[in-house]
Amino acid sequence: QRLVKAKDIAADPLRADLTKQLRMGKSGMIEAGGKKLFLNVYAPTAKLVIVGAVHISQALAPLARSLDYDVTVVDPRTAFASPERFPDVPLIAEWPDVALPPLNIDHYTAFVALTHDPKIDDPALLHAFERGCFYIGALGSRKTHAKRGERLKAQGAKDSDIARIHAPIGLPIGAVSPSEIAVAIMAEITAQLRLPKEKEEAA
């Protein structure tokens, strides 16, 4: 019996099996070297941080919770970030520089920016870059995203940071309504979390 931490998987002789089980988030039996081994997976609950208490977020938050994500919605605009619009969802009606640091955002976190307001989305995305989120997505067309990228680079972001943003956000399923867009976003997050990288890129 031995313990393998996530940071040590790449150097482990069972790295392929360990990576697969960790990606699925499930314990399971494997066969290696003619022996059957049981891998117990202990992974934190995945988190979803939604910046922007908009209509899409109203559909996305309960959908993510149904998939066992810990969800938090951040929006300094109190008219949007209200318990009436987001029942049973943790809300933080503060600007990103105040709201995000206490959330302990990490590589088990999916991060989406949905306000269309650079004053809110841009500092939020800069924070996400620093925290190693497994998924970063932002609302907007390719033209809007190109302008966003220039703004972020002017604030110190690298090209590699910009490349991590999924924009336009969500899988291209022809989504139109807020609920459909939420499904597209959650599908893309799931692909990023569960699929091997080469398959995720083809999704």
Is 123 a domain residue?
A: yes
Is 1 a domain residue?
A: no
Whether residue 151 has pLDDT greater than 80: yes
Indicate whether 34 and 132 sit together in one domain: no
Indicate whether 77 and 17 sit together in one domain: no
Q: What mean pLDDT is predicted for residues 77-97?
A: 96
Q: Which two tokens stand for residue 82?
A: 């209200």
- Give residues with Cβ within 8 angstroms of 15, minimum separation 6: 9
Indicate whether 87 and 180 sit together in one domain: yes
Q: What mean pLDDT is predicted for residues 62-77?
A: 97
Is 187 a domain residue?
A: yes
Is 94 a domain residue?
A: yes
State what percent of residues in the chain have pLDDT above 70.
91
Is 203 a domain residue?
A: no
Indicate whether 157 and 66 sit together in one domain: yes
Distance CA 199, CA 194 (A): 10
Beta bridge partners of 29: 38
Indicate whether 81 and 13 sit together in one domain: no
**Count of H helices and E strands in the chain?**
8, 8
Looking at the structure of the chain, the number of domains it has is: 2
Whether residue 146 has pLDDT greater than 60: yes
Q: Considering the entire predicted model, what is its pTM?
A: 0.84
CA distances, 141 to each of 29, 59, 103, 146, 147 (Å) = 44, 20, 28, 9, 10
Indicate whether 69 and 21 sit together in one domain: no
Beta bridge partners of 49: 72, 111
Whether residue 202 has pLDDT greater than 60: no
Indicate whether 91 and 33 sit together in one domain: no
pLDDT digits (tens, 9 = 90+) for 115-138: 999 999 999 999 999 999 999 999
Is 176 a domain residue?
A: yes
Q: Which two tokens stand for residue 36?
A: 């059957």
Domain extent at residue 181: 47-197
pLDDT digits (tens, 9 = 90+) for 47-64: 999 999 999 999 999 999
Structure confidence at residue 139 as a pLDDT band (50, 70, 90): very high
- Give residues with Cβ within 8 angstroms of 146, minimum separation 6: none
3-state secondary structure of 25: coil
